[in-house]
Amino acid sequence: MTASASKSTSRRAAFEVDTTEFKSRPIAVIGYGSQGRAHAMNLKDSGCDVIVGVRPGGAGEKKAKADGLKTATPEEATKAAHVIAILTPDMTHEAVYREMVAPNLDKGDAVLFAHGFSVHFGRVHPDPATDIILVAPKGPGDLVRREYEIGRGVPCLFAINQDATGKARNRALSYTACIGGATAGVIETTFAEETETDLFGEQAVLCGGTTELVMAGYETLVEAGYQPEVAYFECLHELKLIVDLLYEGGMAKMHEFISETAIYGDLRSGPRVINDETRARMREVLKDIQDGTFARDWITENQAGKPQYQALLRKDLEHPIEKTGAELRADMPWLQPGANTH
């Protein structure tokens, strides 16, 4: 799959992307986790000269070399490249940029992020001679890679924080095209919008909201005397079936494939659970994100060694639904390691 002349669409316009200049010099990918590996492999397969910036002797270096990619230290990779993608965890960005990337940038280089947290909340202070861009695939790294390999792609958001060269927009779109995003759709955004909506989605709906809803439903049934195994199936196991329908065709497809009894219960009881009080709590969550409260708390928590994070995570993992689920999933061969679940 190549991306020399890919076309992508946003809410307002179509983009013709010429990636020739973008691919004329090396691209550095700093970090080789889930997103780092997907981006680096997709860029390489699109004809880019990719250098993975990793710690010598570390697991990332070994994996990158096994994948047939060139590796170097983050400092060396930055020196050699004109676009540097920092794909390490958010809380490392400040140190990685300050200590490894910034001292080795040339005037006119571009630094790219896949999430705007560190730039939006002022943890990274870019040089005014550097393009600062964002390309955020709307999916985990393994999906970004898998979709590319079968000739498709994961939709991407892109944004320009600083255009020092006049090339920032083309660089962002070229990068998007080369990781496969242009085939699935591109939406232009801002660092603020991407960061704040991403954090809100994770906290209020996708992760925090969903897991709390699942556990509360499970607890309600078990406290009422129903079997934990039955509660698990009704409140967690079958959630995937509904989410798949929503993912594939929205509310309309879900309503098409569930019973009329389920639809009536949905329409009648959904608003009793997610009500005005819930929406008020969601607005509180969003306000904490917008005014920087969440970012300050998370940065402070990291600086303290993450004691509250570890305690809350342990509480989540020790919830009774985890024990019930582990026992039930052990009898589901399609969920075992190595099973083809796609």
Active site residues: 115
Token representation of residue 256: 């098409």
Nearest partner of 182 among 191, 168, 170, judged by Cα: 170
Is 303 marked as binding a ligand?
Answer: no
CA 27 to CA 21: how far, in whole Å? 12
Q: How far apart are CA 106 and CA 102, in angstroms?
A: 9
Q: Is 141 annotated as a binding residue?
A: yes
Q: Structure tokens of 140? A: 């985990």
Residue 150 near residue 117 (C-beta atoms within 8 A): no
Tell me how far CA of residue 256 lies from CA of 240, 241, 253, 271, in angstroms.
Answer: 16, 13, 5, 20
* Cα 71 from Cα 29, distance rounded (Å): 9
Q: What's the rounded Cα separation, in Å, for the pair 117 and 97?
A: 13
CA–CA gap between residue 214 and residue 236 (Å, rounded): 6
Say whether 234 counts as a known binding-site residue: yes
- 198 annotated binding-site participant: yes
C-alpha separations of 275 from 62, 243, 270, 279, 289 in Å: 50, 21, 8, 6, 21
- Determine the Cα–Cα distance for residues 36 and 34; give it in Å rounded to an integer: 6
33 assigned binding-site residue: yes
State the Cα–Cα distance between residues 257 and 126, nearest whole angstrom.
50
Is 219 a known ligand-binding residue?
Answer: no
CA atoms of 206 and 164, how far apart (whole Å): 36
- Which is it for strands 110-113 and 70-72: parallel, antiparallel or unpaired? unpaired
Consult the annotation and say whether 264 binds a ligand.
no
Size of the chain, expressed as the number of residues it contains? 342
Separation of alpha carbons 183 and 192, rounded Å: 25
Binding-site residue set for NADP(+): 32-35, 55, 141
Binding residues for substrate: 259
- Return binding residues for Mg(2+): 198, 202, 234, 238
